[in-house]
Structure 1
């Protein structure tokens, strides 16, 4: 049953926004001492351990044997590919710009819905997709100064595409498991795939400053675990479309946090691109349609 918004739902939504706005900042700090692969693995080893504790308390069901390939695929797109692309991308892209590009997920969800799932996409949606892609191009080219585009921006768009594929698969098979169970197995399977980066991880963790390890610990617990649980609570007790709109507060929140924590000031054209991207993505959600869209940290 969907209830009217209350203080608990509002608090949970604000908590999600703050956690996912911190994510690009935590990645930026983590990359000061970790390689992108090591950072992704360390982050999700922490998240997997935390989710194991939650799962033991909530007593989630065991997966069906025939679903293991699907869960591995979900883990690949949601965790492994998404976060490897994100981490490599943020080597050359500011935290604020990364948060904006990551919000382009609904644009790719619309394209997947049309070209793969054969859903009808109307003229309004095509306008929003085109506008969003133009805005993303503005952010990528302006982040380091016009004419100094870093390919890292394209990797973050790949991360957004990867999350769109995960969302399409997860939506299609979500009836098999409840939200918590699906998140747990997705995180665990994605972490297993990241184990290829195990060599050298322990040495990197020992050499990393305590402040960096603290940032990675926060990454593993808050954006990668607690935020998903809080978001599941929000979706269970409020209108999905209305709740999703609140996620568009993530990029400006991330930019504000980055300006305080990292002393990053976004160029004017990045702000212009941000407005274009968020307006386009918001337009996709506000226009009644068949295409389901989702945002990501």
Structure 2
């Protein structure tokens, strides 16, 4: 029973909290380092940490070249496409609220993809939950979104992030089940790091202004997000249905808004609080199994 409670509630709760703090890296890192440079260094540090952990724990490596290829492709989607798209959109001026709204379509997109690729089937209650969650997400972010903030390039970057995390979640579920998370993470972060460094060499000056806020942003991004949150995400994907796991991401913007309200004194509107309630209800309808007795 304790293990069931841990898997069903504690692990998802910790994952959502850590994932919701992703704005910390952008908030404290982007003023002092360009996005692709930041992400390249972040990937390199995460790869080194996981390599040390894998060697000490003698974790098994992917058994075949094809398994390693699947791991690499999954990493390029989940890390390269998703993080690269989101950070690029924010870096060129798109507000985080608008990015969150676009990427917030991920649970529905993933559920549709999982239906065709993984043969996962959602019932009417679960589809209703996805719709309610999407409405709640819009209410949470409505005061932070304006059509004037949307440009073709920023929309393209955001959509790249949306498509990448959706495809990566399904791909991870289908092909990453037998690979150790530690060694698989090393391969994913190495390849994603090379991608980001190539983009940094091509499009950025790679200027870095080291200071305490940047060090904190990098440390948090590496340890809490790339090591902690991603490991929990992969565990959730491995243990559950992709559509149910992706619905948890509906909770990220509300939790982010709550953290910003408590820590940075950002405004929390009445409609945002209603949206948070709807998001929680929607996610519950998707992931919880209700039993009705007559």
TM-score bracket for this pair, using the shorter chain length: 0.7 to 0.9
Structure 2 spans left out of the alignment, 5+ residues? none
> Post-superposition shift, 1:134?
4.1
Determine the structure 2 residue equivalent to 1:50: 49
Check 1:176–1:284 CA distance in 2 against 1; reply closer, same or farther (3 A cut). Answer: same
Structure 1 spans left out of the alignment, 5+ residues? 289-297
> Post-superposition shift, 1:272?
4.3
> How big is each residue's C-alpha offset from its partner over 1:16-75, in whole Å with a ceiling of 9 and x where there is no partner?
444323212222221222222222222212211211221121222233222333222111
CA distance in 2, matches of 1:157, 1:2: 40
Contact 1:47 1:220 in 2 (8 A): yes
> Post-superposition shift, 1:160?
4.1
Determine the structure 2 residue equivalent to 1:285: 287
Spell out the pairing of 1:23-34 with structure 2 (5 A cutoff). 23-34=22-33
Determine the structure 1 residue equivalent to 2:188: 186
CA distance in 2, matches of 1:257, 1:32: 21
Contact 2:107 2:250 in 1 (8 A): no
User: Helix, strand or coil: the match of 1:204?
Assistant: coil
Check 1:230–1:141 CA distance in 2 against 1; reply closer, same or farther (3 A cut). Answer: closer
CA distance in 1, matches of 2:183, 2:168: 15
CA distance in 1, matches of 2:66, 2:18: 34
Determine the structure 2 residue equivalent to 1:143: 144
TM-score between both structures, scaled by the size of structure 2? 0.74
Determine the structure 1 residue equivalent to 2:35: 36
Q: Which has the larger displacement, 164-173 or 119-128?
A: 119-128
CA distance in 2, matches of 1:285, 1:101: 22
Determine the structure 1 residue equivalent to 2:219: 217
Q: Which has the larger displacement, 50-59 or 245-254?
A: 245-254
CA distance in 1, matches of 2:68, 2:207: 32
Question: Out of 162, 170, 175, which is 1:173 matched to?
Answer: 175
> Post-superposition shift, 1:198?
4.0
CA distance in 2, matches of 1:227, 1:76: 17
CA distance in 1, matches of 2:82, 2:237: 23
Determine the structure 2 residue equivalent to 1:204: 207
Determine the structure 2 residue equivalent to 1:106: 107
When the two chains are superposed, the root-mean-square deviation of aligned CA atoms in Å is 4.0
> Post-superposition shift, 1:219?
0.7
Spell out the pairing of 1:8-157 with structure 2 (5 A cutoff). 16-63=15-62, 64-90=64-90, 91-94=93-96, 104-117=105-118, 119-138=120-139, 141-144=142-145, 148-150=148-150, 155-156=157-158
Give the length in aligned residue pairs.
281
Contact 1:140 1:149 in 2 (8 A): no
Contact 1:82 1:159 in 2 (8 A): yes
Determine the structure 1 residue equivalent to 2:228: 226
Contact 2:48 2:186 in 1 (8 A): no
Contact 1:106 1:281 in 2 (8 A): no
CA distance in 1, matches of 2:70, 2:226: 20
> How big is each residue's C-alpha offset from its partner over 1:117-158, in whole Å with a ceiling of 9 and x where there is no partner?
45444433443344444444555553145x545455785565
Q: Which has the larger displacement, 271-280 or 190-199?
A: 271-280
Contact 1:104 1:157 in 2 (8 A): no
Contact 1:104 1:277 in 2 (8 A): no
Contact 1:40 1:194 in 2 (8 A): yes
